[in-house]
Amino acid sequence: MKTNKLVVFSSFCLALALASCSVPATISVDSSQPASSAATSSKATSSAAASSSKASSAAASSSAAASNSAASSSAAASSSAAASSSAATSSSSSTTSSTPASSTGTSSSEVTSTSSKTVETSQYYIYVGYYAKAATSGFTTDIVASFTTALNAHLTSLGLSAEQMATVKIEGFDGTAAEMGAAINAAADVDVVIGVGNNINSTAGVSIEEKLGGFAIGTTTGRYIARLANRNRAAVKEVYAWFQSDECKASLVSSSSASV
């Protein structure tokens, strides 16, 4: 009987011992779950951190791109503004450049010569000079008288008043070509000349607007008429045109022969 109890007690102790040993095993198995959970949590955290990092990088890249775009836009705007300013300045300069040229072109052309642009002034209605060296020009005393009468008649026919006729001057200039030219220049107000040579604007040294040859004076041929420089008044041009008329040419021929 005691033996049976001992056996039973021993079995009970063994069972209790086995039960005690199995508990830690169960605990060990249970404790492995939190480790796996922790690993999972760590992976999730790492993944979240990586995602967060990528998101931050993407945000930074986007921000940098935006900054670059803004800078490019700003630079483009500045460049455009500079170009507009440059164009405006260029336009202003062109306009400024174009103003003096227009001002210069509006000088009083009605009273200035096309050659030297000197203002024309004269105390005479017309001042006619002729080459008085009869041996060269053909202007003898009677030819001078015939020419003077014809010119005065022509001017009177134009309706000139007595006051205007009083300012008509006809004067002879003698000497060599150079001496004649010097005297004409010294007189200053001579408008037209007649009986001169082709050298009026060279050897004689007289500045002219125009000249015309082929005139016969007395028995002398090949003489010239000339309109002096800066002499552009209507009266001067009218008398210069009259020199070329048959009326004037007839007055330059008389029964008296020119001296040779």
> How far apart are the C-alpha atoms of 57 and 190, rounded to whole Å?
98
Residue 99 has pLDDT above 90, yes or no: no
Q: For residues 179-190, give the mean pLDDT.
A: 97
Give me the pLDDT at residue 244, please: 98
Q: For residues 192-199, give the mean pLDDT.
A: 98
What letter would DSSP give residue 120? P
Question: Is residue 258 within 8 Å of 134, Cβ to Cβ?
Answer: yes
Q: Which residue has the higher pLDDT, 104 or 150?
A: 150
Is the dihedral angle over the CA atoms 149, 155, 160, 164 positive or is it negative? Answer: negative
Give me the pLDDT at residue 27, please: 37
Cα 215 to its chain centre, rounded Å, is 49
Residue 25 has pLDDT above 50, yes or no: no
> How far apart are the C-alpha atoms of 10 and 225, rounded to whole Å?
171
Give me the pLDDT at residue 56, please: 44
What's the one-letter identity of residue 226? A
Q: Which residue has the higher pLDDT, 216 or 38?
A: 216
Angle, CA of 119, 101 and 208, to the nearest 5°:
30
> What's the pLDDT tens digit per position in 46-67?
443 344 444 344 333 444 343 4
pTM listed for this prediction: 0.54
Q: Return the minimum-mean-pLDDT range out of 23-32, 77-86, 98-107, 132-141.
A: 98-107
CB proximity list for 243: less than 8 A, separation 6 or greater: 192, 194, 215, 225
Ordered domains of the chain (ranges, CATH): 126-251 (3.40.190.10)
Give me the pLDDT at residue 71, please: 39
> What's the pLDDT tens digit per position in 139-150?
999 999 999 999
Q: How far is CA 215 from CA 66, 204, 241, 246, in A?
A: 93, 19, 13, 11
Give me the pLDDT at residue 98, please: 33
Q: For residues 36-55, give the mean pLDDT.
A: 40
Q: Which residue has the higher pLDDT, 40 or 185?
A: 185
Residue 105 has pLDDT above 70, yes or no: no
Q: For residues 80-90, give the mean pLDDT.
A: 40
